[in-house]
Amino acid sequence: MLLYDHKEIEAKWQKHWAENKTFKAVNNSDKPKFYALDMFPYPSGAGLHVGHPLGYIASDIVSRYKRHQGFNVLHPMGYDSFGLPAEQYAIQTGQHPAITTKENIARYREQMDRIGFSFDWDREVRTSSPDYYKYTQEIFIMLFESWYDKDADQAQPISLLESRFRESGTTTINAATDEDLRQFTATEWNAFTDKEQQEILLDYRLTFLADTEVNWCPALGTVLANDEIINGVSERGG
């Protein structure tokens, strides 16, 4: 049995896949669709850890299998590169997070290419890119400026809710909300101060301001998720 020359053979086919966009998903296709979405890694300076390819290999097997079955497979990859880890790495190293993030992404991409995953790299997502997060900000604003009308069974502009409050108070409002809604007449609404009106509208908005308990780490200067707390303290900040 001949030895498998992995350096020559894998480099040859990985180059072929990249040049020919072998794994590119087509927007308009008669083939049945299959979407394989992986967890986007945070691109740290240490590079991929074993948990990344452990999951990616499984989804890659399924993606390749579906392609052989005749599916138009969308299998993208991206980087969860926005937020606390990038900020902390910048503080620790004294480097601008845009620089370290770009360098770390290049390292991750090189490692994933060497493994030979069948990602459609034309669909790459970087959550730290303005081209990406402008949409998350836009969605947030849309949610903030909307309430859910149960009668219409759809979201409506908050301006419509204000108009109905001015005309008839809460008598005709059937809204989806977690709050015990305050009832008032049109006369009472029009007599409220602007601050009082805005506080009432927060009970209706799809994105809202509220008070809640959080895990606060003074060393990191931020709040943390429960899975970032080990034995009652911050895993990174102590």
Express each pLDDT in 157-187 by its tens digit: 999 999 999 999 999 999 998 777 889 999 9
Question: Could you give the CA distance from residue 20 to residue 14 in angstroms, rounded to a whole number?
Answer: 10
- Helical axes 158-168 vs 194-202, angle rounded to 10°: 120
Tens-place pLDDT, residues 120-137:
999 999 999 999 999 999
Q: What share of the chain is helix, strand, coil (3-state, %, to 5)?
A: 45, 15, 40
Residue 230: strand pairing partners: 233
For the record, the structure tokens of 231 come out as: 């034995």
Question: Could you give the CA distance from residue 217 to residue 98 in angstroms, rounded to a whole number?
Answer: 24
> What pLDDT, on a 0 to 100 scale, did the predictor assign at position 44?
81
Section 207-235 average pLDDT? 87
Q: Are 112 and 48 in contact (CB under 8 A)?
A: yes
Question: Could you give the CA distance from residue 10 to residue 115 in angstroms, rounded to a whole number?
Answer: 9
Question: Could you give the CA distance from residue 185 to residue 30 in angstroms, rounded to a whole number?
Answer: 56
Of 233, 232, 234, 213, the C-alpha closest to 88 is 234
pTM (predicted TM-score): 0.75
Query: For residue 35, is pLDDT > 70?
Result: yes
User: In this structure, is the dihedral angle defined by the CA atoms of residues 78, 81, 224 and 212, taken in order, positive or negative?
Assistant: negative
Q: DSSP code of 74?
A: E
Enumerate long-range contacts of 162-166, CB under 8 Å, 24 or more apart: 162/197, 162/201, 165/189, 165/197, 166/190
What is the residue extent of each domain of the chain?
A: 6-128, 142-202, 208-238
Section 65-72 average pLDDT? 98
Higher pLDDT, 210 or 41: 41
Residue 237: strand pairing partners: none
CATH 3.40.50.620 fits 6-128, yes or no: yes
Residues in the chain: 238
